[in-house]
Amino acid sequence: MGTVNRLIVIVLFKGVDLLDVTGPPEVFSLVPRETTERVGYEVVLAAETLEPVTTAAGVRILPDTTFDEVCARAIDTLLVPGSVEVEGDGERRIHPVVEPGTVARVKALATRARRVASVCVGAHILAAAGLLDGKRATTHWSTAQRLAADHPAVRVDPDPIFIREEGEVWTGAGISACLDLSLALVAEDFGEAVALRVARQLVMYLKRPGGQSQFSVPLEQLSTTRRIEDLRHHILNNIGRRLTVPDLAAYAHVSDRQLTRIFKTELGTTPHAYIEAARVELAGNLLETTDDTLERVASRCGFGTVDTLIRAFRRRLATTPSEYRARFR
């Protein structure tokens, strides 16, 4: 009996990000080594023609097949990578590459696929193809606002590493998070045990949970005013204490209403949400690096009670503190 392979088609186009294309196959290629069953993946790179495709890194890749040829096959997973362009001499801005021809091809191929997944800013291509309408999706944090603005029908969440939605539509953050997404796909197809063995070969965690944040709260987009930066540092330096809107407003010498408006304008969130995000991040670090009890973690991070800590983790990371510690300790 021959090996049963699931066909994965990776979309190629000029300027595509190299790691988005090469990272997932590295994960998929290890599956046959880590299971006694004759199963695995057949990964093919598809492009408009068989001519070499130059990636954003300058490395040229040879397609295995054309879009027309692969359309005749039953596709298990359609994987859509991304690419960005940088413009501006002073304030350099990046924007996703969304070519109409690529969008049309992805839309057609998606009808032949059991599931569709985007890597990094490839989510913009899925959105342009109408595949994310009404769905929650993520992308690289630097283009999340653009995705939300361009596609109001998409519920953009810039925080998670990856998101799986009904209808077998997956979106992943960038850039190395393509490995986390790929491991999650392996776990779904062949079970957690196989995915764990693959992860060990890659010297990785089995997976960061889909709800884990892409980036640190202090590394979010910098604000444009000194006042909000002082507030952010004040919050981080006093995270274990009681922090209320009136307290922060008094510290900043503004009204409660003005403080809320400043946070919304500068950071795109509320003071309460920002404080909770910072506390969850600190709690995650303590769970990973210390033997502190949940009571101690809750106290050090300003949650007060374990129940409050658990609710915040469920809300922010879709997991519990105990599950988080078990995965990342």
- What is the rounded distance in angstroms from the CA atom of residue 282 to the CA atom of residue 97? 35
Asked if residues 288 and 322 have their Cβ atoms less than 8 Å apart, the reply is no
- What is the rounded distance in angstroms from the CA atom of residue 13 to the CA atom of residue 52? 10
What angle in degrees, to the nearest 10, is found between the helix axes of 18-28 and 177-190?
Answer: 30
Positions marked catalytic: 120
Terminal Cα distance for the chain, rounded: 41
DSSP for 18-50, written as a single string: HHHHHHHHHHHTTTGGG-SSSEEEEEEEEESSS
- 326 Cβ neighbours under 8 A, 6+ residues apart: none
Amino acid at 244: T
